Chain A
Amino acid sequence: MGDHHDHSKTFQPDHPEPTSDDALLGLALRELLIDGGYFTAAEEQAVIEKMQGASPENGGHIVARAWKDPEFKARLLDHGSEAIKELGFDLSPTEFTVLENSRSIHNVVVCTLCSCYPRALLGMSPAWYKSKNYRARVVREPRQVLAEFGVELSSEVEVRVHDSTAELRYMVLPQRPAGTEGWTEQQLAALVTRDSLIGTQRTLTTG
Chain B
Amino acid sequence: MTLPLYRPGQRVRIADRTPATHHRVPAYAKGQTAVVERVCGEHGQPENFIRGNGEPLTRLYRVRLLQRELWPDYRGSHLDKLDLEVFEHWLEPAHG
B62 interfacial by beta-carbon distance below 8 Å: yes
Residues from chain A with a CB closer than 8 A to the CB of B86 are: 165-166
B41 to chain A, nearest CB (A): 6
A23 to chain B, nearest CB (A): 22
B75 interfacial by beta-carbon distance below 8 Å: yes
Task: Please tell me if the beta carbons of B43 and A166 are within 8 angstroms of each other in the complex.
Answer: yes
Number of A-B contacts (CB under 8 A): 83
CA distance A168 to B86 in the complex (A): 11
Contacts A95-B40, A95-B41 given; indicate if A166 touches B79 (C-beta within 8 A). Answer: no
Task: Please tell me if the beta carbons of A113 and B26 are within 8 angstroms of each other in the complex.
Answer: yes
Residues from chain B with a CB closer than 8 A to the CB of A168 are: 40, 60, 62, 85
Of all chain B residues, the one with the shortest Cβ separation from A138 is: B82
Segment among A5-13, A151-159, A172-180 that sits at the interface with chain B: A151-159
Residues from chain B with a CB closer than 8 A to the CB of A193 are: none
Task: Please tell me if the beta carbons of B76 and A143 are within 8 angstroms of each other in the complex.
Answer: yes
For chain A, the count of residues having a C-beta within 8 Å of the partner chain is 25
A133 to chain B, nearest CB (A): 16
Residues from chain A with a CB closer than 8 A to the CB of B26 are: 112-113, 163, 165
Task: Please tell me if the beta carbons of A160 and B84 are within 8 angstroms of each other in the complex.
Answer: no
B51 to chain A, nearest CB (A): 16
Residues from chain A with a CB closer than 8 A to the CB of B28 are: 112, 139-140
Task: Please tell me if the beta carbons of A165 and B76 are within 8 angstroms of each other in the complex.
Answer: no
Residues from chain A with a CB closer than 8 A to the CB of B83 are: 160-163
Within 8 A of B (CB), among A112-159: 112-113, 139-144, 155-159
CA distance A167 to B41 in the complex (A): 10
A29 to chain B, nearest CB (A): 15
A164 interfacial by beta-carbon distance below 8 Å: yes
Contacts A140-B71, A142-B76 given; indicate if A165 touches B40 (C-beta within 8 A). Answer: no
CA distance A165 to B74 in the complex (A): 22
Task: Please tell me if the beta carbons of A158 and B85 are within 8 angstroms of each other in the complex.
Answer: no
Residues from chain A with a CB closer than 8 A to the CB of B85 are: 163-168
Contacts A166-B43, A166-B87 given; indicate if A160 touches B81 (C-beta within 8 A). Answer: yes
Task: Please tell me if the beta carbons of A141 and B75 are within 8 angstroms of each other in the complex.
Answer: yes
Residues from chain A with a CB closer than 8 A to the CB of B24 are: 113, 165-166
Pairs across A and B, CB under 8 Å, 26 listed:
A93-B43, A95-B40, A95-B41, A112-B26, A112-B28, A140-B70, A140-B74, A143-B76, A144-B75, A155-B77, A155-B79, A156-B77, A157-B79, A158-B77, A159-B76, A160-B81, A161-B67, A163-B26, A163-B83, A164-B85, A165-B24, A165-B85, A166-B60, A166-B85, A167-B40, A167-B43
Which A residues have a C-beta under 8 Å from some C-beta of B? 93, 95, 97, 112-113, 139-144, 155-168
